[in-house]
Structure 1
């Protein structure tokens, strides 16, 4: 059955959806109810991913091992009888990844992740206007995006074309190397208004559109290649939907799918975002990015490199057992220690490099719980910066929903975020918000958070407000110090 360009009306009520979640730390396959995108108990398979970090800023993943591990997840679900009754296949994927390909479509490089810092300085026309570029593409001319990644890759290998992880997974499953408007927007090479590749971005990258995956409409569907019929017979003829970028999927999956609500997602990294119609979108501030959800919607927000990875690093360094992985005995906002969570640097447009994390105010009275509390408070204050910008952009105090693995794992962090935001929050009851959101985008569902409703405690809010000016001053100093050190070491 060939792919179709027509609208898909979704599966009949009561059927099930197979969701593939292409993360940085794991690849997952899980089965969801088609009624409300809730997970089917026990129908989850996971393949752990270990990115390789090297000198010179490399942060890569073995592409072959990743894809084979993902397919192994489907084998596990098949073995356990979970691939019967599947009526749709959806994908949520990490944004920003890239692979250089040869003339036969073979990979010349590992999967380059968002954390990789290698790139080259672009050759720009004197008339280049980065603010106009940012307004049009939602991105900056930063090494995170393809206009700077591709020239670097072309200087390293004889590449003929380029694709991201979800594009290559779709090709492996269906035989068609295509991408969605959502994934394409994460390359920093999309004209957000038209949904097509941006001519100036491609000129900077030095490629033509035919060297990138074709962008298909949100209503496109493909089907599994015939070679998989014996391996997963229940999936034969099941429509495969275009992938959704994980940030957009996480927003929708946690219940933040219109401009009244900001979704805060805490996974390996963190973000705060608002989904809104692409038509008549508010003018994009320089500090925020904007990508696409689908043909009709965009998502505007701010991302942060330190979140769940920060918590995992610190609990490992401090050798905290499971009973001490939350600072439950530390009152929120009370720690004298202030942590600036720049261990993984900052996202654009700031230019703080990785390895810039700072603790201020340490004394011999502080213990592991104080350091952990300070780190979680620092991450919360970073996220709050983005939330307040979004409040201003959309002209209201936004409602907030919390979601993601970090949120699910830490009651203390949920309370800390709620106090930092100084407003009530709703918690998404489902940890797999990306997979849930991908199903919701593809099938037109509107999930609700379904979890606890938190109200900020007045004493905690007051302590955070007293902490905030000190944090802001010390953050500014940390940024200046990191930039000065970079100039010193590079000069």
Structure 2
């Protein structure tokens, strides 16, 4: 669908906030789903990573980033006098932070890529039947999800565990700051691993096992439920949004499928941003293939797929480490497939689908004195493609008879190779 100018936009206008793992963006769409090309802003950033597996962001920095994006976008719209009909949000999933009794953060925002809880994930798998939990929640007992995150925090930060009165995702925390209350969509909740995918309620058995209660989690909301009435000082900062309905954040993967038109099993969405994923939308998932996950789009539709921990991040890391440029990309693009003699495991941030070895590390085998940086980059991109191939096999086995693959994502679109 072609982008349009603000003069061509048809009401209602919708502001979208996209809180990703490498940038925050504010864009504007019209009532027909067309992007207003002249309006929008983006602020890049980097998650803080450490050698022990941390992947974090500062909650206040994340909040300020979103606010600055909204400031800039509203400044672009205000001269036109066009009213805003709604604000919609997608956020990277899953994110996690602990809150005290006043709703203040006790931890950084911990991202899906944090692997410091690998020991706790392994301990949960020894104590619980992972196949049962996978079937019930749609998620595995692995480092990306909340069960292992909570177990890690309880083991390593007992002081924070005792003080914590709430557990939240980044999208919920944003609402808490803006409105003084929070809720969580079934979409975002399903990414945490604590939602029962059959009842669409918090899984009481799992919460009890982890030592938390449902009242420490946000109330569940469907994707169309409105929240209005910005608290101060935000109502004064953005008077154009003071009475505008905000919709609960959904997972970035669900948003990518919807935006790509991949809304049934006939189309697979392939996304390559910082990380990568393959996903299909289906009414229900009777049995989840090994190594894949089943999240929610909303109450009515499930999202079946698998995600990798590498994609554009691996590409960018190699570009920086090997000091590559656009000419290097072009040279890499004409190399014959598998002509480099290299075997690469691309796990610079651990492995997610389908093997879920959260503490896996990247490796390159076969380097000789003749190996070029372009060949290493080529081997890296081929290794990512092989990971997608494994996920695609799992989707096909689950009845995903896709007629078409729709590819999107910032890393993919920025590089023809």
TM norm structure 2: 0.89
Work out the CA distance in 2 between the residues paired with 1:351 and 1:151.
Answer: 18
1:95 is aligned to: 93
Secondary structure at the counterpart of residue 228 of structure 2: coil
Evaluate the alpha carbon distance shift between residue 328 and residue 104 of structure 1 in structure 2; reply closer, same or farther with a 3 A threshold: same
- Counting only pairs closer than 5 Å after superposition, residues 211-360 of structure 1 correspond to structure 2 as 211-227=216-232, 228-278=234-284, 281-326=285-330, 327-347=332-352, 350-354=355-359, 356-360=361-365
Secondary structure at the counterpart of residue 237 of structure 2: coil
Displacement of 1:70: 0.8
1:75 is aligned to: 71
Work out the CA distance in 2 between the residues paired with 1:368 and 1:148.
Answer: 37
Displacement of 1:129: 2.7
Displacement of 1:172: 1.9
Q: Give the superposed CA RMSD.
A: 2.2
Displacement of 1:311: 0.4
1:385 is aligned to: 390
Work out the CA distance in 1 between the residues paired with 2:50 and 2:14.
Answer: 38
Which of 1 and 2 has higher RCO (CA within 8 Å, sep 6+)? 1
Contact 1:148 1:205 in 2 (8 A): no
1:167 is aligned to: 172
Q: How many residue pairs align between the two structures?
A: 398
2:100 equivalent to 1:106: no
Work out the CA distance in 2 between the residues paired with 1:283 and 1:398.
Answer: 22
2:195 is aligned to: 190
1:57 is aligned to: 53
Work out the CA distance in 2 between the residues paired with 1:132 and 1:322.
Answer: 48
Greater alpha carbon shift after TM alignment, 101-110 vs 234-243: 234-243
Evaluate the alpha carbon distance shift between residue 34 and residue 261 of structure 1 in structure 2; reply closer, same or farther with a 3 A threshold: same
Displacement of 1:14: 3.5
Contact 1:339 1:360 in 2 (8 A): yes
Work out the CA distance in 1 between the residues paired with 2:45 and 2:282.
Answer: 32
Displacement of 1:87: 0.8
Greater alpha carbon shift after TM alignment, 294-303 vs 357-366: 357-366
Work out the CA distance in 1 between the residues paired with 2:19 and 2:110.
Answer: 14
Unaligned runs of 5+ in 2: 1-8
Unaligned runs of 5+ in 1: 1-11, 413-491
Work out the CA distance in 2 between the residues paired with 1:329 and 1:400.
Answer: 24
Work out the CA distance in 2 between the residues paired with 1:146 and 1:264.
Answer: 25
2:21 equivalent to 1:24: yes
